[in-house]
Structure 1
Amino acid sequence: MKWSELCIHTTNEAIEPISNILHETGASGLVIEDPMDLEREHPTTFGEVFELNPDEYPEEGVYIKAYLPVNSFLGETVDEIKQAINNLMLYDIDLGRNHISLSEVHEEEWATAWKKYYKPVKISKHITIIPTWEEYTPVDTDEVIIELDPGMAFGTGTHPTTVLSIQALEQFLADGNTVIDVGSGSGVLSIASALLGARQVYAYDLDDVAVKSTGLNAKLNKLDQQIQVKQNNLLDNVNIEADVIVSNILAEIIVRFVKEAWNNLKPGGYFITSGIIQNKKQLVKTELESQGFQIVEMNEMEEWISIVAQKV
């Protein structure tokens, strides 16, 4: 089968929403090429990427690459993707150059080449994420391993927004807690919650691809009894007494369900939000405080912000 590589030249801010658009349209093998990766130090014992070629990276912004089958619907699919990306400007998302190009590749090339970007990586004090095709021996006795299959649309949980979320879970989640994961994606935050001591995790995502991915990865980590996965729009019609709600999605989406998060949290419960770009920090903070949340801490990694708020 022939495939087309779709390359979108955009900004860090647009990575999350564009990635979502791509997997909703059935694109496969998503890869992010960020020139900041060239400046980072990559440990020899574990790391997300290795042997990077500077020629493959833009001088500014990022490349988002995905793969579409060459068929009679290719033109329509690309047009649909372009329109959806352009619509992101309505949410004040900076798209940068917003240049899209297509090139042809063969199936055997992309089916294995994109995996080179994913290696075991320790993302927090205790948690190490390993892709399913990699062998890994823990280096610490208290190391917690998450095995993840990124499948056709998801990364391996090492994006700064995910790292910030997991670091907050390590700090604020207690044994026996009930957790709600809003916008579960690959399920990495649900799995991390269960491994960190949550008694029950409720994972919600509107996209059926994400629901299947969360379910698959929960089984892969033998946590499918602890993690209940359901297709749902944010917290619509959800009535659960949770100790922690975690959500790693766009700031514009977070502010839509702050009231529902408050209603589903026990007194003293924590609302962990991530996926917030720097210039949207105040938007989320203001909405949380207007609902009655107390801001416990705000953390930053690269251009991304996470906010931990408590129901007091």
Structure 2
Amino acid sequence: MNFKAITIYTTHEGIDPVTGRLYTLGINGVEIEDKQDFEEFVAENTPNWDYIDESVSEKMSGETKVKAYVADNASGMETIRLIKESMQELKKFDTEGKFGRLDVELSTTSEEEWADNWKQYYKPTKISRQLVIVPEWEQYEAPSGVTAVKINPGAAFGTGTHESTRLCLEFVEEFTTPKTRMLDIGTGSGILAVTALKLGAKSACGIDIDELAVKASMENAALNGVEDRFISRLGNLADNVDGTFNLITANIVADVIIQLIPDIPQHLALGGIFVASGIIDSREEEVRKALADNGLYVFDSKNQKSWVALACKKK
């Protein structure tokens, strides 16, 4: 399969608004080439490798780029059209020019070339002192007391390093117990559900509208030896799901979360927790209102850059 590589030229300040707009268009994984983010990432994760290749450092020193990939077919071309429209809208909003030129550049790449290109940037990512996300192809020996979750996101899903995923993973780590029955809506690579199972959850169910997600999440569960406690289903939001769960996660975007919220209370067990992530801070109050209108209250929240994750219970 061939992919269209979409490169958007921006600035450090433009990363969040650009990636936020891509998320609203259903693009879950992006590559970011940004000097400031790269330097911060290296500083935080230096213990996970011995050195950084000079060619990678040099590549990160130029203009900030946000890259995404879509299938080279009619559906992918429609997504590209929407991305171009969205960047034009963002240009009009950015009256001070803080987000750069926002030009969109296209190229074609094979799946093999795509894999070789982005794997060089995906390294073990420390979520907390006890939790590390590790790409499948990396050799990593977890220290005593550290849970390492192996993930191969494949060609269609993110790597788990985006702020919204990190915030959600922090909550998953905090709330998972041996009695946890988890529902992960919009499971993608299955990173949240698989992490919960690695942390000792009793069971997890992932649901996604994408057949590739169902396949990828099952493969990642097997990669971590938790496939016997995991099931992945094809479905829209909370459809095709029966029963109640102690922990429900939805790392999507604000519009989809708001649409989903009315279905959450019926699937939450007594004392159960709903974690909503992927929320741009400008939409936080709107999501909070939807939660309150449906009998849910926020008892904890986490923020990173412009992203927010909310932990909720039934009133």
Q: What range describes the TM-score normalised by the shorter chain of this pair?
A: 0.7 to 0.9
Partner of 2:223: 220
Distance 1:104 1:294 in 2: 46
Change (3 A) 1:192 1:115: same
Deviation at 1:16, TM superposition (A): 5.7
Partner of 1:263: 266
Q: What per-residue deviation string (whole Å, max 9, x for no partner) do you get for residues 253-312 of structure 1?
A: 001111211110012110011101110111111111121112111110111100001123
More helix by share: 2
Partner of 1:118: 122
Q: SS of 1:214's equivalent?
A: helix
1:131 to 128, 132, 135: 135
Distance 1:125 1:275 in 2: 23
Distance 2:139 2:160 in 1: 17
Q: How does 1:19-30 map to 2 (within 5 A)?
A: none
Tell me, yes or no, if the aligned pair for 1:32 and 1:65 is still in contact at 8 Å. no
Change (3 A) 1:238 1:3: closer
Partner of 1:272: 275
Change (3 A) 1:289 1:255: same
Q: What per-residue deviation string (whole Å, max 9, x for no partner) do you get for residues 170-195 of structure 1?
A: 22222211110000011000001111
Deviation at 1:156, TM superposition (A): 2.2
Q: What per-residue deviation string (whole Å, max 9, x for no partner) do you get for residues 24-51 of structure 1?
A: 9xxxx9523345413412432227x954
Deviation at 1:84, TM superposition (A): 3.1
Partner of 1:158: 161
Q: SS of 2:313's equivalent?
A: strand
Partner of 2:38: 38
More divergent stretch after superposition (216-225 vs 34-43): 34-43
More divergent stretch after superposition (168-177 vs 264-273): 168-177
Change (3 A) 1:113 1:64: closer
Distance 2:85 2:4 in 1: 23
Change (3 A) 1:153 1:56: farther
Matching of residue 180 in structure 1 with residue 178 in structure 2: no
Distance 1:276 1:66 in 2: 22
Distance 2:245 2:110 in 1: 47
Change (3 A) 1:153 1:79: closer
Q: How does 1:68-83 map to 2 (within 5 A)?
A: 79-83=77-81
Distance 2:115 2:277 in 1: 31
Distance 2:293 2:117 in 1: 47
Deviation at 1:88, TM superposition (A): 6.0
Distance 1:154 1:238 in 2: 23
Opposite residue 311 of structure 2, the aligned amino acid is V
Q: SS of 2:37's equivalent?
A: helix
How does the TM-score come out when normalised to structure 2?
0.82
Q: How does 1:181-260 map to 2 (within 5 A)?
A: 181-260=184-263
More divergent stretch after superposition (237-246 vs 197-206): 237-246
Tell me, yes or no, if the aligned pair for 2:24 and 2:253 is still in contact at 8 Å. no
Consecutive unaligned residues of structure 2, counting only runs of 5 or more, are none
Tell me, yes or no, if the aligned pair for 1:4 and 1:103 is still in contact at 8 Å. yes
Change (3 A) 1:2 1:183: closer
Change (3 A) 1:151 1:16: farther
Opposite residue 295 of structure 2, the aligned amino acid is G
Change (3 A) 1:87 1:189: farther
Opposite residue 293 of structure 1, the aligned amino acid is L
* RMSD (CA atoms): 3.2
Q: How does 1:280-295 map to 2 (within 5 A)?
A: 280-295=283-298
Deviation at 1:7, TM superposition (A): 1.2
Distance 1:87 1:230 in 2: 33
Tell me, yes or no, if the aligned pair for 1:126 and 1:144 is still in contact at 8 Å. yes
Opposite residue 84 of structure 1, the aligned amino acid is L
